[in-house]
Amino acid sequence: MPLTRKAYRAAILHSIADPAEVGIEASYEYFEDGLLVVDNGQISALGHASELLASLPADIEITHYPDALITPGFIDTHIHLPQTGMVGAYGEQLLDWLNTYTFPCESQFADRAHAEEVAEIFIKELLRNGTTTALVFGSVHPQSVNAFFEAAEKLDLRMIAGKVMMDRNAPDYLTDTAESSYLESKALIERWHGKGRLHYAVTPRFAPTSTPEQLTLAGQLLGEYPDLYMQTHISENLQEVEWVKELFPERKGYLDVYDHYQLLGERSVFAHGVHLCDDECARLAQTGSAVAFCPTSNLFLGSGLFNLPMAEKHKLNVGLGTDVGGGTSFSLLQTLNEAYKVMQLQGARLSPFKSLYLATLGGARALRLEERIGTLQPGTDADFLVLDYNATPLLSYRLKQSKSIAETLFVLMTLGDDRTVAQTYAAGNLVHQR
């Protein structure tokens, strides 16, 4: 195969470390007139255009974006494929919301054609919003995951997904059994895990909808296959936390349920964590587990405010999640807009560089993929975005007043949405053009 080399010239910005650990100034690299060189789907060079241009062959194709910012692709660490059709459902908190809206919506995925149709819409929405990697809940039906991976494979996307395991406290039409969930998950793992840029996540929905037998088998799957992911929910809603105590009175608390069944580890991601305590944060960090911070969902469902400073204190890996459909937007820019407000309500500040970190390198670290995605370092996959400074009249006008990259970045996160994403590239391929 001939070498395909292309270059992209624009303002370029990426995170290289967590501002909470190294300070803001040491956490990012910014090139006001930068150049990104891509060879066969990987980034081969990054730097100032003035320094790199001379080293390139005369005939290389250079795409110039004079009024735009290139960043790494966004990483969504918690989202539900089957809830795409019920985003913005009115008037409930978590447990009633599941019964009223979520379960009926997910039941439609018994139909393979429906699963395929929604998978196409879902992936288009991710790419339109600049999300190049997501950790995705399917439904209880294996075809939901097959349809998603088939659509993702066509575009060579780096995606992670799993079939929901749920054998109690849900409608009969939507439950599996401990045994069937194990066998169906195993078949999906054999088919998809490690194929191209795809990964499998063992996916018990949350402790209340799994019997001890099912949780035991979920832990067994993690032991049987190296590098599998595990995703579930934790401490999202106070009523849910109390319910877990009633269902598992023998355990010390919500996290201890998952700990007992050996579901904590380097590739385990727990969504929400709004009501975690210090000890639970410490245990998550100790085991290398991560939390997905889902501000639009936590506000929309009235769940509470995620305590990011507490997570930082324990050096707990935190990614960002849209949590569609409890969350109200596929856009991680909009999600960061809400994250800023969640911190404001707690008397804390969220700097634009920490926000960029959460949406890119922080998500990659939560998924243990920082060697491949989350930055624009040479040697990583060429998953990147072009953010248009003139996407809307207001954005264009506001950015003309900007005096620094920090201000520009913050305005993009406050006023930006899917319209801001002019182009999305995955493995060097243009997969979305506005």
Rounded CA-CA distance 270/236 in Å is 10
Query: DSSP letter at 403?
Result: -
Same domain, yes or no: 318 and 205:
yes
Domain-terminating residue out of 263, 296, 330 = 330
Is residue 335 assigned to a domain? Answer: no
Rounded CA-CA distance 216/201 in Å is 16
CA dist list (Å): 187 to 143, 147, 192 = 12, 14, 9
Query: Are the beta carbons of 71 and 34 closer than 8 angstroms?
Result: no
Same domain, yes or no: 68 and 92:
no
Query: What CATH number is attached to the domain comprising 241?
Result: 3.20.20.140
Is residue 346 assigned to a domain? Answer: no
pLDDT in tens, the chain (434 residues): 446 899 999 999 999 999 999 999 999 999 999 999 999 999 999 999 999 999 998 889 999 999 999 999 999 999 999 988 888 887 777 778 788 888 888 888 888 999 999 999 999 999 999 999 999 999 999 999 999 999 999 999 999 999 999 999 988 999 999 999 999 999 999 999 999 999 999 999 999 999 999 999 999 999 999 899 999 999 999 999 999 999 999 999 999 999 999 999 999 999 999 999 999 999 999 999 999 999 999 999 999 999 999 999 999 999 999 999 889 999 999 999 999 999 999 999 999 999 999 999 999 999 999 999 999 999 999 999 999 999 999 999 999 999 999 999 999 999 999 999 999 999 999 999 99
Residue ranges making up the domain that contains 208: 80-330
Q: Is 2 exposed, middle or buried (0-12, 13-18, 19+ CB in 10 A)?
A: exposed
Distance of CA 40 to the CA centre of its chain: 25
| Domains of the chain: total | 2
Same domain, yes or no: 192 and 324:
yes
Same domain, yes or no: 312 and 387:
no
Same domain, yes or no: 18 and 161:
no
Give just the sign of the alpha carbon dihedral 373, 374, 376, 377: negative
Instruction: Label residues 177-209 b or e (16+ Cβ within 10 Å = b).
Output: bbeebbebbbebbeebbeeebbbbbbbbbbbbb
- And the tokens for 101? 């809206």
Is residue 406 assigned to a domain? Answer: yes
pLDDT, position 3: 62
SS3 of 134, please? strand
pLDDT, position 1: 46
Is residue 427 assigned to a domain? Answer: yes
Query: Are the beta carbons of 159 and 363 closer than 8 angstroms?
Result: no
pTM of the model: 0.96
- And the tokens for 124? 């288009």
CB atoms within 10 A of CB 24: 14
Q: Is 323 exposed, middle or buried (0-12, 13-18, 19+ CB in 10 A)?
A: buried
Is residue 211 assigned to a domain? Answer: yes
Q: Which of 261, 315, 254, 328 has the alpha carbon at shortest distance from 289? A: 315
Is residue 341 assigned to a domain? Answer: no
Give just the sign of the alpha carbon dihedral 117, 118, 121, 122: negative
Q: Report the run of H or E that residue 80 belongs to, with start and end.
A: strand 74-80
Rounded CA-CA distance 369/24 in Å is 22
